[in-house]
Amino acid sequence: MATKIWNVLELLDWTTEYFEKHNIPNPRLDAEVLLGHLLEKSRLQLYLHFDMPVYQEHLSIFRELIKRRIALTPISYLINRKEFMSLDFYVDERVLIPRPETEFIVETILNTNPEKPQRVLEIGTGSGVIATALAVNEPEWEIIATDICQDALQVAEKNRDAHECTERVSLLHGDLFEPIQELDTSHFNWIVSNPPYVMSRENNDLSPDVRDHEPHIALFAGEDGLSIIRRLISEAPSYLNPGGKLIFEIGDTQGTPVQELINEQIVYEDSKIIKDYAGKDRVVVASIA
């Protein structure tokens, strides 16, 4: 018996129904994104090529992608890409998938429009999106980015190089400020971080696609979710230039405890919490004199 030749429309319809049966949240969209990725076509191009046959070599890969999506692997890991600050980044399961709220940190820094080139340290760079987006937007700035996870740094390196920022973003491995000790100049205008800030007991509240697929070292920060933030707040002033600023992302319930932690450190002369577009506490900026 002749093997059936599938076309784009039939495959999209079949996959949408299959995803629906397995309660995948956006069944049609996911089907289109996955097939488009596989065939290297935009979603619009898929619509313009509904009759195009899809052959066995692609079908077997598509079947594998469908299986992984049913296992709730996030789409970004399946297509190995995520947009951040209108730039394209490679992602895989070694790094957290960059979130749109994190763009807020980058925008806040860029909007200060400093006259002189800035020296910036990013702690916990993951896929490298913050460091790379800053370097792309401000080619004169010197940026150093660290991570405790060597695997994540390989992804950051790939993204940094793809955006031609190799000369301007240095990547260092180690725990928080430890790698900075080796540098000749260990002071910065900005220290920036999107640290892990989920409480360990929130593990079961996370959606399975996050909990079961994203790196736990990028998510969890002890009982109260503040174990890394606490260290950032107390250690950062030793690495800031006069007038320098620490800026970092927080969870939407962490504004008050984080403000208290900042108030305990008399070296900070000013601090504020900025809300995101959803009106939630999201970014903290604390400056020293």
Ligand X SMILES: C[S@@+](CC[C@H](N)C(=O)[O-])C[C@H]1O[C@@H](n2cnc3c(N)ncnc32)[C@H](O)[C@@H]1O
Q: Which two tokens stand for residue 284?
A: 């903290």
Q: Which two tokens stand for residue 196?
A: 């892990």
What is the number of other CB atoms lying within 10 angstroms of the CB of residue 211?
16
Quote the least distance from Cβ 219 to ligand X, whole Å.
7
Helix (H) / strand (E) containing 211: helix 208-211
Q: Cα–Cα distance between 268 and 148 in angstroms, integer?
A: 26
Quote the least distance from Cβ 214 to ligand X, whole Å.
9
Quote the least distance from Cβ 146 to ligand X, whole Å.
6
Report the residue number, 196 or 225, with the smaller CB distance to ligand X: 196
Q: Cα–Cα distance between 81 and 120 in angstroms, integer?
A: 25
44-75: buried (b, 16+ CB within 10 Å) or exposed (e) per residue?
Answer: eebeeeeeeebeeeeeeebeebbebbeebbbb
Report the residue number, 66 or 165, with the smaller CB distance to ligand X: 165
Report the residue number, 20 or 212, with the smaller CB distance to ligand X: 212
Nearest-CA neighbor of 198 among 222, 234, 176?
Answer: 222
Report the residue number, 129 or 240, with the smaller CB distance to ligand X: 129
Query: Are 232 and 246 contacting, i.e. CB atoms less than 8 angstroms apart?
Result: yes
Quote the least distance from Cβ 4 to ligand X, whole Å.
42
Q: Which two tokens stand for residue 137?
A: 């937007």
Q: Cα–Cα distance between 223 and 200 in angstroms, integer?
A: 5
Quote the least distance from Cβ 125 to ligand X, whole Å.
5
Report the residue number, 27 or 126, with the smaller CB distance to ligand X: 126
Quote the least distance from Cβ 38 to ligand X, whole Å.
26
Report the residue number, 252 or 270, with the smaller CB distance to ligand X: 252
Quote the least distance from Cβ 210 to ligand X, whole Å.
11
Quote the least distance from Cβ 176 to ligand X, whole Å.
4
Report the residue number, 12 or 96, with the smaller CB distance to ligand X: 96
Token pair 């007038």 is found at: 243
Binding site for ligand X (CB under 6 A): 96, 98, 102, 123-127, 129-130, 146-149, 152, 175-176, 194-196, 217-218, 228
Within 43-180, where are the H helices?
43-48, 56-70, 75-79, 103-110, 129-137, 150-162
Q: List, in sequence order, every residue forming a beta bridge with 190; answer none if it has no partner.
A: 120, 245
Report the residue number, 195 or 244, with the smaller CB distance to ligand X: 195
Amino acid at the residue 288: I
Q: Which two tokens stand for residue 213?
A: 């697929």
Phi, psi angle pair for 146, to nearest 5°: -125, 160
